Amino acid sequence: MAKVAYQKLTDHSAFFWGLLAFHVLVIAAGLSAALYMEEHGHIVTGMSNQIVWGTPHVFAVFLIVAASGALNVASFSSVFNRLAYKPYARLSGVLAIALLIGGLAVLVLDLGRPDRLIVAMTTYNFRSIFAWNIYLYMGFIAVVVLYLFVMMDRRISRSATPTKFVGGFAFFWRFALTTGTGSIFGFLIARDAYSSAIMAVLFIAASFLYGLAFTVLVLMTMGRETRQELISEDMLHKFRGLFILFAQAVLYLTAVFHLTKLYAPQYRDVEAFLLRDGGIYTLTFWIGQIWLGLILPLTILVFFGRGRDAWRSMAISAPFFLIGGIAQMYFTIIGGQAYPLQLFPGMEVSSSFQDGVAAQYWPSLPEILLGLSGVSISMLLTGIALKILPFLPHPAEA
């Protein structure tokens, strides 16, 4: 393969500036929402003593998982020597960093006391998966920055060895990061909806899908901006194949997770609640995650993803995969907390604090704005990076 050429985003249309302005407004609204919740407390949110992780956590975890998967395109080129993916490696790294920063920004602002973050960064309890994740998140940014430097430095990039070594280390780190994020839920044995080792594997599969969806949407948007075909016909079919593979993996692992829970008698009640009797949580799972987020886009890609319809089918399917990702995290995080804790297994519990009763949760406007601001932070950082440095592939090489 010929030497790959890259370019900055030099042309700026009204669409581009309008998109940046929109993200700035969403970020401003998110910061205002965070200040509002800081001033009045979480009483102004839909959260309670049972639902302690609300909608901002849904967006934060979704972005962190997607950040890990966004790096896959770079890994394909350097680790697995798939040279067709090399033109997209730089964008892959930038997008991974931007998505992680967006997710962490929401996470920090939703803590209630962001100033207490310094305690978490200086005092570690290594029996807590949250303490491990501080190292995993910060280390991921450092490793990907080094990865980008190795790819972009002219002297170092002349040899494939440094890029392959750093790329392999980054590939290992992104697996550790997603495993740590999934293990937050897998290690919570007190919550019947979680407490499963397969949560880590499911999150890894989901990261592949959501990271690729973000990558494809950014490439299509920037292609419209530069008036160039940044994704060749051959790469469209490769991305289509990856979408189908990753979506099937998520669907399969989701089925295995719930079938395993249904097989164990102690988990049948929580599965009945989530999959049949959970109201909004059940609808979020079947309609949001399974139908809109997996089956519908899979159907579009399988039956309408070839020939001249390939580009259109990708443009339609990628947003649906992301919608399904939000639905998956909402169902997992909120639905898992809504089911009551089994304080005394085998006994019926009731009290003035509604112990043993499924929690009701409706996200408030400040929560939604704070969550959406994380996506806008990621997209704004990506747009600025593409403007400053040559991260976009040259169309002749794409």
Strand-pair partners of 392: 7
- 245-270 b/e with 16+ CB inside 10 Å = b? ebbebbbebbeebbeebeeeeebeeb
Query: What's the pLDDT at 184?
Result: 86
Domains in the chain: boundaries: 6-393
User: In Å, how far from its chain's centre is CA 165?
Assistant: 26
Token readout for 70 is 């966004």
Query: What's the pLDDT at 114?
Result: 67
> Could you tell me which residues come within 8 angstroms of residue 322 by beta carbon, excluding any fewer than 6 positions away?
66, 210, 213, 214, 217
Q: Give CATH for domain 6-393.
A: 1.20.1630.10
Query: What's the pLDDT at 256?
Result: 95
Q: Report, in angstroms and rounded to the nearest whole number, the Rg of the chain calculated over CA atoms.
A: 21
Could you tell me if residue 100 is left (phi over 0), alpha (psi between -120 and 50 degrees) or otherwise beta? alpha
pLDDT digits (tens), the chain, 398 positions: 446 777 887 777 788 899 999 999 999 999 999 999 988 888 899 898 889 899 999 999 999 999 999 998 888 888 888 888 888 989 999 999 999 999 999 988 887 666 666 776 677 777 777 778 888 898 999 999 999 998 888 777 677 778 888 888 998 999 999 998 888 888 887 788 888 889 999 999 999 999 999 999 999 988 888 777 788 888 889 999 999 999 999 999 999 999 999 998 888 989 999 999 989 999 999 999 999 999 999 999 999 877 778 889 999 999 999 999 999 999 999 999 998 877 666 677 666 666 667 888 999 999 999 999 999 999 999 999 999 988 888 765 44
Query: What's the pLDDT at 354?
Result: 64
Query: What's the pLDDT at 363?
Result: 93
Query: What's the pLDDT at 398?
Result: 46
8 A C-beta contact, residue 267 and residue 261: yes
Exposed/middle/buried for 302, CB within 10 Å: 0-12, 13-18, 19+? middle
391 vs 365: CA distance, rounded Å? 36
Query: What's the pLDDT at 1?
Result: 43
8 A C-beta contact, residue 162 and residue 150: yes
Query: What's the pLDDT at 135?
Result: 85
8 A C-beta contact, residue 327 and residue 253: no
Q: Closest Cα partner for 262 from 183, 192, 205, 339?
A: 192
Question: What distances in angstroms separate CA 321 from CA 119, 123, 214, 326, one per listed residue?
Answer: 37, 38, 9, 9
